[in-house]
């Protein structure tokens, strides 16, 4: 399947530049997969589509201040986006700046723009703009002093309150970008869902490079997805499986929750090691010895599951998500869940109805 088949044209004015004053005031496009019916609702209507015993599972990863700025000895400006901590002082990062070769030293700036005493050195040049960066020291508060909230490049306005790029239930810190489908939830809405008998659970996936990396190859199955650290605890896995066996739906909040839950189901099915080839195997129509639903297993570690059209979903019954960039792996995942043509038609409808797109935009519920 070609990457160009996941392209669409979005008017720039539909890219949301700021969050709504009230988180749950966003619009909600509801897509019914079996019939193709599209409904236009408000996010506060979500509970009308969930039944007692359904399990809403969200990614609770918290964004850290991963965007840093500094200058080389020549005065050249450098921007770093920290992606993965390799040890106490070393990080994998996306680096912006000229001639960032091995040995280049960068004097980092504080968050207010003033120079700091912190020096970061390029120790390894990786693919493209990827670098391994080592700091001369890394105290507990270093990133708080130096870092900025890593808003996506299509957001051009500053964010007055950094907490608006965090979900209200975020806990463990580790993401370079927010799991944005969860930004719509308020405490009042979660309490209202609880009162309806909806179960709320969390998993963790620390969002990394592939949120920023477009699919650039011609054939999507030649794209290599980078692994991200994820965790599904034994207690959460147990409650999800019990709810499923009692007849509840498993509703994933966002693509990162989908990948975590599906990884848990594949681990339960005995799949070990890399999951990169699973979509290819499913898409090729090979006979699978897996049942339509597999219980999820607890796990902790890297997942490189790349979900593309043809993938057989083992765990997730419904998905709550935002609208994604053209030709992105996230758009391919939702197309795998609802069908490429149906998703692109829903996106076209959302554009016609002037929905707000991307991180601070509106939401879609796929049933």
pLDDT in tens, 188-208: 999 999 999 999 999 999 998
Residue 106 domain-assigned (yes or no): yes
Q: Is residue 156 part of a domain?
A: no
In a domain, 151, yes or no: no
For the chain, give the number of residues. Answer: 367
Going through 140-187 in order, the beta strands assigned E by DSSP cover: 173-175
Q: Are residues 72 and 57 in the same domain?
A: no
Per-residue pLDDT of 19-49, as tens digits, reads: 999 999 999 999 999 999 999 999 999 999 9
Query: Does a structural domain hold residue 157?
Result: no
Total domains in the fold of the chain: 2
If asked whether residues 190 and 206 sit together in one domain, one would say yes
Answer yes or no: do 191 and 320 share one domain: yes
User: pLDDT (tens digit, 9 = 90+) per residue, 268-284?
Assistant: 988 888 888 776 677 66
Residue pLDDT, tens place only, 66-105: 999 999 999 999 999 999 899 999 999 999 999 999 999 9
List the one residue out of 89, 237, 228, 67 whose CA is nearest residue 153: 67
Are 135 and 274 in a shared domain?
no
**Residue 249: strand, helix, or coil:** coil
pTM of the shown model: 0.94
Distances in whole angstroms, Cα of residue 74 to Cα of each of 9, 97, 112, 134, 286: 41, 12, 21, 19, 57
CATH number (domain holding residue 102): 2.40.10.240
Residue in the block written with tokens 């997969």: 33
Domain containing residue 93: 68-146
Is residue 152 included in any domain, yes or no? no
Residue 19 lies in a domain: yes
Instruction: Assess whether 261 and 170 both reside in one domain.
Output: yes
In the predicted structure, residue 286 carries a pLDDT above the cut 50: no
Q: DSSP string spanning 78-129?
A: EEEEEEEE-SSSEEEEEEESS---TT-EEEEEPTTS-EEEEEEEEEEE-STT
Same domain as 166, residue 209? yes
291 has a pLDDT exceeding 60:
no
Domain assignment present for residue 276? The answer is: yes
Write phi, then psi, for 45 (nearest 5 degrees).
Answer: -85, 0
Same domain, yes or no, for 127 and 168?
Answer: no
Domain boundary among 83, 111, 146: 146
């Amino acid at each position: 399947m070609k990457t160009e088949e996941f392209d669409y044209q979005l008017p720039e004015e539909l890219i949301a530049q700021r969050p709504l004053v009230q988180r749950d005031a966003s619009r909600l496009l509801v897509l019914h997969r079996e019939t193709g019916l599209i409904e236009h609702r408000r996010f506060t209507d979500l509970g009308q589509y969930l039944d007692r015993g359904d399990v809403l599972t969200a990614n609770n990863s918290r964004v850290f201040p991963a965007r840093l700025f500094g200058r080389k000895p020549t005065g050249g400006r450098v921007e770093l986006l920290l992606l993965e901590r390799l040890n106490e002082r070393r990080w994998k990062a996306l680096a912006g700046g000229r001639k960032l070769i091995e040995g280049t030293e960068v004097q980092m700036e504080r968050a207010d723009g003033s120079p700091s005493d912190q020096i970061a050195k390029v120790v390894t040049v990786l693919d493209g703009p990827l670098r391994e960066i080592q700091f001369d020291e890394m105290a507990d508060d270093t990133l708080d002093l130096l870092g900025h909230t890593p808003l996506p490049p299509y957001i051009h306005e500053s964010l007055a309150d950094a907490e608006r790029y965090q979900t209200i239930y975020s806990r463990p810190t580790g993401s370079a970008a927010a799991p944005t489908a969860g930004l719509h939830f308020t405490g009042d809405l979660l309490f209202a869902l609880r009162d309806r008998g909806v179960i709320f659970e969390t998993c963790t996936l620390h969002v990394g490079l592939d949120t920023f990396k477009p699919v650039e190859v011609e054939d999507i199955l030649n794209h290599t997805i980078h692994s991200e650290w994820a965790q599904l605890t034994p207690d959460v896995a147990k409650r999800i499986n019990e709810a499923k066996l009692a007849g509840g739906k498993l509703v994933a909040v966002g693509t990162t929750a989908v990948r975590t839950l599906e990884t848990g189901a594949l681990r339960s099915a005995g799949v070990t090691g890399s999951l990169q080839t699973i979509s290819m195997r499913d898409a090729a129509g090979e006979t699978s010895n897996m049942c339509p639903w597999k219980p999820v297993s607890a796990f902790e570690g890297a997942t490189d599951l790349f979900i593309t059209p043809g993938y057989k979903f083992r765990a997730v019954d419904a998905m709550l998500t935002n609208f994604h960039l053209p030709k992105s792996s996230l758009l391919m995942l939702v197309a795998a869940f609802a069908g490429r043509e149906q998703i692109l038609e829903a996106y076209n409808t959302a554009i016609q109805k002037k929905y707000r797109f991307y991180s601070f935009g509106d939401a879609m519920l796929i049933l």
